[in-house]
Structure 1
Amino acid sequence: MAYTATLKSAIGKLRGCLERAGLGRQGEQFAQHGTHTPAGDAPLVLVACSGGRDSLALAALAHIVCGTLGLRCGAMIIDHRMQEGSAGVAEQAASTCVDLGLDPVIVRIVHVNQDGNGPEAAARDARYEAMFDEARACGAQAILLAHTRDDQAETIIMGLMRSGGVDVLDGMRECNNRYDDVMLLRPFLGITRKQTTAICRDLRISWWDDPTNGDNIPQGERLPRDYPLRSRIRHDLMPLLDDIAGGDMAGHLAQYTDIAARDRDYLESKALVAYDSVVTPEETGGSLGCSLDAKAMFSLPAAIRIRVIAMVCANLGIAASIQHIESIERLIVDWHGQGVVSLPSGYQAFRKKHVIRVCQDSGHENR
């Protein structure tokens, strides 16, 4: 078939993303015309597929692009069992991926534990844990996620609503190397949802629409408040912002993510240097903790100081909010003898003279 401009653009973005991640052409034979079969030990990438239009468009194009590069391409479908009929949706998504030529195609059922952060966050955590488990089990080097430019804009707005600070402006990264053994790649961050819809129609792929997305709500009607926040932003807020801005608000937001990401990387590098000079790891009573040099922390620029505190919490496995971090900062910049700062996971932060200690309750007996 003749490729449309939309298909060509999406294929180019996907190919570029794989090559930037070190998953380029596996041999000169793949530069030649004709069909070439990837080697049995060629790098494997897995497409995370929900059965929706975005992920099925990615699955179809990933099979094409990986074939031209000599990469193996499979898919994984995570069934959260949080909606009636989810097993059927997962089965249909798997069948479509098999028909597209992806191999292996894995379906995994997960149990979602509600942890107080809401069902969406709990489902996301369970999904990512399962994806990484499956990727490691089959030796995949990367997981492809079908987040689009629209998802990027919605993520930024959600972060701003939740007081995530300026770092939320860099949105989701194209490549996340946080996990050493498996990369997360998002090749569609420059592709719109309208384009993924067109790709599926061009390739005659049927998709499933999650009812909680609100796509079936009549235009002009607002979604009920019990719909997920992301869906309400997509259905109610983004069209309003487009109307006010007189254009594509998602595109405007996406323009600044690369600039914001560079700024964040620079600040993070400075914070890492500062961390090594002001933070001393400790182990007390069998639990990990650390001490901070309050005088040295006071002399740091506020932007770096906040990041160092956030790093301390992250390294200790403390799910600290911005309020927790600011409370610890006040022990440094607004010290007037206040008591301990209670933190998640049984941790506390307190100041004694010029030292701030962060440790679990069991370690306080030695303070």
Structure 2
Amino acid sequence: MTQLERKLIATLRRLALAPADKVLIGVSGGADSMALLDAMQRMSQPVCVAHLNHGLRGDESDADEQFVRQQAEAAAVKFFSTYIDVATQAIRQNLEATGRAARYEFFAQVARTQTIPFVLTAHTHDDQTETLLMRWLRGTGATGLRGIHERRPLCEGVKLIRPLLAITRAEVLEHCAHYGVPFRTDSSNLSDEYTRNRVRHQLLPLLREFNPQFDAALQRGAGHWQADADCLEAQARDLSIDADFGPQLSLHALTDAHPALRQRVLRAWVGPRLQLTAAHGQALERFILSGQSGRTIQLPKGWRVTREFKSLLLWHVSEAGTVAPPSVHLAMGQSQGFGAYEFFLHPPMSPQDAQRLHRCNATVIALREAVADGLWLRARQPGDAYVPVGRTSSVKLKTLMMRERILLTERAAHPLLVAATGEIIWSPRLPMAAAYQVNPADEPCVWVTVH
């Protein structure tokens, strides 16, 4: 039994993977994945094989697929493969990240359709070291410095397991040599065109000259970072509850929280929709502390965050109510909807008779009979302003809406009751225009009820 097998058995036992559990192994044809496939078969684990042809190396990629297919057939193992033009998908994106996303999406699809609860990939101890070092070079935080997760959900009903993270590349090669396991060598792994290869071939050998145990030291540090990050994540989850976690995020609990917790809450809040970059995280941090309502930050893929008083609202441009409803005439004796409100213009009646309107759980306003024929409902327009009751000078409609905490996303469809001249008479939640205030006891009035 090789050292790889001993460590693998211990890892699978610790992860509670039962001998009868069916697994799907992602096999590229390289030494790591071929060693994992061989070892799992020697343990009599029920396995299937999945291979994604990225098409990045032409005939060599096709030869890899054919090799894996032949190995699976020789072992009487069910084989699944597909071709994806990753280079085309990765235009203006990171090639490695695009390829990784395509692989996991394919693995998840196969696992779901075949009802396989576990997907195994062959990331090793050396891969973990390289990943940690690359993330550190990019300036990642404690969450990123936890490295490659040994186990995580891949999709509903399927878990992703990386059982070789404690096994070195040297132990993989020793296993292959011991059992005569064939494997392919990816020529791109020899090219220093890729960052990971430069880290592997140039940076890591240099660091090992300073500390021969550099790999162990780095991963030991990653264990400490993981413990710290787990603690902060737990506190951030509690803070998320206090912040009424949802499409709208309350800032009452976040304002006084530590920035490290705020950032975790924000990443979790935005996370299901897109990856929050450090720059966007810092912008949102300033957003929270600035206290300026009505401002909006643009995020990638059409997402926006708007500060509305003591909350942040996450919305997509496709969902924005930017198209205002058309203007409509409010005719006598007819009900007219506008936005979230329903208006009804009642004929003239005495104040005593109008009292019954108040029993309808509606807002009731009185207007001079002379304006009844020219009443319209419209949306806001640039430059809208009027003199509200109690004021002697004009106030911008935008200012009044902000004072009354009418959300920015609601303002486009918020109704304005206007005269034939276009002058604003009244709007729900806003004061009446001073010029249209009337005393029903002094002159005939029509009445408008608003639900």
TM-score (norm 2): 0.67
Q: Which runs of 4+ in 1 moved over 6 A?
A: none
Letter in 1 for 2:195: L
What residue is the counterpart of 1:366 in the other structure? 410
Distance 1:204 1:189, change over 3 A: same
Letter in 1 for 2:65: A
Q: Give the distance between the partners of 1:90 and 1:196, measured in 2 at CA.
A: 21
2:180 counterpart of 1:204: yes
Contact 1:111/1:126 (8 A) holds in 2: no
1:319-330 → structure 2 map (5 Å cutoff) = 319-330=275-286
Q: Give the distance between the partners of 2:154 and 2:51, measured in 1 at CA.
A: 22
- State which structure, 1 or 2, has the greater radius of gyration over its C-alpha atoms: 2
1:271-282 → structure 2 map (5 Å cutoff) = 271-281=236-246
Greater shift in the superposed pair: 88-97 or 229-238:
88-97
Contact 2:291/2:309 (8 A) holds in 1: no
1:178 CA drift (Å): 5.1
Q: Give the distance between the partners of 1:180 and 1:18, measured in 2 at CA.
A: 21
1:365 CA drift (Å): 3.7
Q: Give the distance between the partners of 1:182 and 1:337, measured in 2 at CA.
A: 43
1:150 CA drift (Å): 0.8
2:50 counterpart of 1:76: yes
Q: Give the distance between the partners of 1:110 and 1:21, measured in 2 at CA.
A: 32
Aligned mate of 1:45, from 18, 23, 28? 23
What percentage of residue pairs aligned between the two structures are identical? 26
| Deviations 1:106-137 (CA, angstroms, capped at 9, x unpaired) | 22222321253221111111111011111111
1:51-70 → structure 2 map (5 Å cutoff) = 51-65=29-43, 67=44
1:197 CA drift (Å): 1.2
1:333 CA drift (Å): 2.6
Q: Give the distance between the partners of 1:248 and 1:50, measured in 2 at CA.
A: 29
2:66 counterpart of 1:91: yes
Q: What SS does structure 1 have at the residue aligned with 2:160? A: strand
Aligned mate of 1:10, from 4, 23, 30? 4
Q: Give the distance between the partners of 1:338 and 1:166, measured in 2 at CA.
A: 33
| Deviations 1:40-68 (CA, angstroms, capped at 9, x unpaired) | xxx31011111111111111101112x1x
| Deviations 1:209-239 (CA, angstroms, capped at 9, x unpaired) | 111111xx7xxxxx3xxx1111111111111
What residue is the counterpart of 1:299 in the other structure? 256
2:162 counterpart of 1:186: yes
Distance 1:350 1:92, change over 3 A: same
What residue is the counterpart of 2:17 in the other structure? 23
Q: Give the distance between the partners of 1:338 and 1:236, measured in 2 at CA.
A: 50
Contact 1:63/1:102 (8 A) holds in 2: no
Q: Give the distance between the partners of 1:121 and 1:178, measured in 2 at CA.
A: 16
Aligned mate of 2:266, from 309, 316, 324? 309
Q: Give the distance between the partners of 1:159 and 1:343, measured in 2 at CA.
A: 23
Letter in 2 for 1:22: A
Contact 1:73/1:102 (8 A) holds in 2: no
Structure 1 spans left out of the alignment, 5+ residues: 27-42, 218-222, 282-289
Letter in 2 for 1:351: R
What residue is the counterpart of 1:106 in the other structure? 80
1:188 CA drift (Å): 0.9
Structure number having the greater helix percentage: 1
Greater shift in the superposed pair: 304-313 or 338-347:
338-347
2:109 counterpart of 1:133: yes
Structure number having the greater strand percentage: 2
Q: What SS does structure 2 have at the residue aligned with 1:207? A: coil
TM-score (norm 1): 0.81
What residue is the counterpart of 2:206 in the other structure? 240
| Deviations 1:67-100 (CA, angstroms, capped at 9, x unpaired) | 1xxx41121111111211211111112222343x
Greater shift in the superposed pair: 199-208 or 333-342:
333-342
Contact 2:64/2:184 (8 A) holds in 1: yes
Q: Give the distance between the partners of 2:283 and 2:253, measured in 1 at CA.
A: 18
Q: What SS does structure 2 have at the residue aligned with 1:292? A: strand
Structure 2 spans left out of the alignment, 5+ residues: 322-407, 412-451
